[in-house]
Amino acid sequence: MYNDFIKYVRKIYSTHDFIPLHAPYFSGNEKVYLEECIDTTFVSSVGKFVDRFEEMVKAYTNTKRAVVCVNGTNALHLALLLVGVEREDEVLTQALTFIATANAISYAGAAPVFIDVDKDTMGLSPDKVRDWLVKNTEMHSGACYNKKTGRRVKACIPMHTFGHPVKIDQLASICREYNIELVEDAAESLGSFYKGQHTGTFGKIGILSFNGNKTITTGGGGMLLFQDEKLGDYAKHITTQAKVSHQWEFVHDHIGYNYRMPNINAAIGCAQMENLDTILANKRETASMYKEYFQSINDISFFTEPEDSRSNYWLNAILLKDKDSRDNFLKYTNDNGVMTRPIWTLMSKLPMFKDCETDDLTNTIWFEERVVNIPSSVRI
């Protein structure tokens, strides 16, 4: 059975060479724009491509303001600071996520609380969040506090796993009820929509990632998405060292961060955005091919986009029947030149987060034992 899968992947990718999990795809003006950066010497944090890239993403996601950063982790860190997360606060999130989510919470001096995911989204469960809040928190002076730790529950970070949208409208409603700030980790979901609205635009701030393995890439890079234009302008200011504009003086009016994306990276991003629709169509076609293939395979199911969603299918995912089957599949495919990967080790199992509060994580553990990502690059 596993050998048949190897043959199928080689067929749809038309190669007998090593097949990576997700390779970047360059088919447009990347080289042209990079040469322009070099010829004009605008290769650092100032240049027309930075502004253009922000405008392109802003228009595509239909948000009020977009601000580039050097990577998605920095964007998430800054988002938490901008919504008022302080040292010793608590932030609700999922244990089934890439470590950047939990790391960013730690950068802000806060503590993550890991809540279970839904089986139909692989993302943070609104029902489980509400259950935890009802059982473990109380309101004081308009703020939500953990009854056991006494710490303020200030923010909530759902992550759209592999580009599949969570039930973000329900989470937004719960956050409003408990006066908790909603920050969307949409790092993996550029091109994904929930009920016709782009992910990353439901909370006060959302973030995107443009790492080399993402749907589009800038080599390394991230973006903050804002519904509050003034907050976005402030973010732009402090990501550029909070320097006050002046012809020659160096004056800074806040503690700032060197989180600026260089023009040379933004140039790649502009070229990638020009082909985003083509990339997304190609990836959805690949997902459709996988879905059809796995319908006839016993004990393996293909994870499809949730209800009311249009997923970008960044990384295609399959579910094996148990951990042993998962491990056998991983070994066979990687030994035979087809790259596959398990889902992340749960954040709650890592040494630096093992003492963080969690709920029962029933679905989270179920997914960890079964999920495998399979090749998802654009097929040329």
Specify the 3-state DSSP secondary structure of 295. Answer: coil
Per-residue pLDDT of the chain (380 residues), as tens digits, is 899 999 999 999 999 999 999 999 999 999 999 999 999 999 988 899 999 999 999 999 999 999 999 999 999 999 999 999 999 999 999 999 999 999 999 999 999 999 999 999 999 999 999 999 999 999 999 999 999 999 999 999 999 999 999 999 999 999 999 999 999 999 999 999 999 999 999 999 999 999 999 999 999 999 999 999 999 999 999 999 889 988 899 999 999 999 999 999 999 999 999 999 999 999 999 999 999 999 999 999 999 999 999 999 999 999 999 999 999 999 999 999 999 999 999 999 999 999 999 999 999 999 999 999 999 999 98
Contact indicator for 91, 157 with CB cutoff of 8 Å = yes
Contact indicator for 202, 169 with CB cutoff of 8 Å = yes
Position 220 scores a pLDDT of 94
Contact indicator for 326, 370 with CB cutoff of 8 Å = yes
- Looking at residue 339, its amino acid is M
Q: How far is CA 121 from the centre of its chain?
A: 14
Common-topology check for domains 2-26+276-347+357-374 and 30-274: no
Please state, in angstroms and rounded to a whole number, the distance separating the CA atoms of residues 328 and 99.
Answer: 25
Lookup: tokens for 102: 């939990």
Q: In three state form, how does the secondary structure of 60-119 look?
A: HHCCCEEEEECCHHHHHHHHHHHCCCCCCCEEEEECCCCHHHHHHHHHCCCEEEEECECC
Position 1 scores a pLDDT of 80
- Looking at residue 124, its amino acid is L
Q: How far is CA 183 from the centre of its chain?
A: 11
Contact indicator for 182, 153 with CB cutoff of 8 Å = no
Residue boundaries of the structural domains of the chain? 2-26+276-347+357-374, 30-274
Topology of the domain covering 2-26+276-347+357-374? Aspartate Aminotransferase, domain 1 (3.90.1150)
**Domain 30-274 listed as CATH 3.40.640.10:** yes
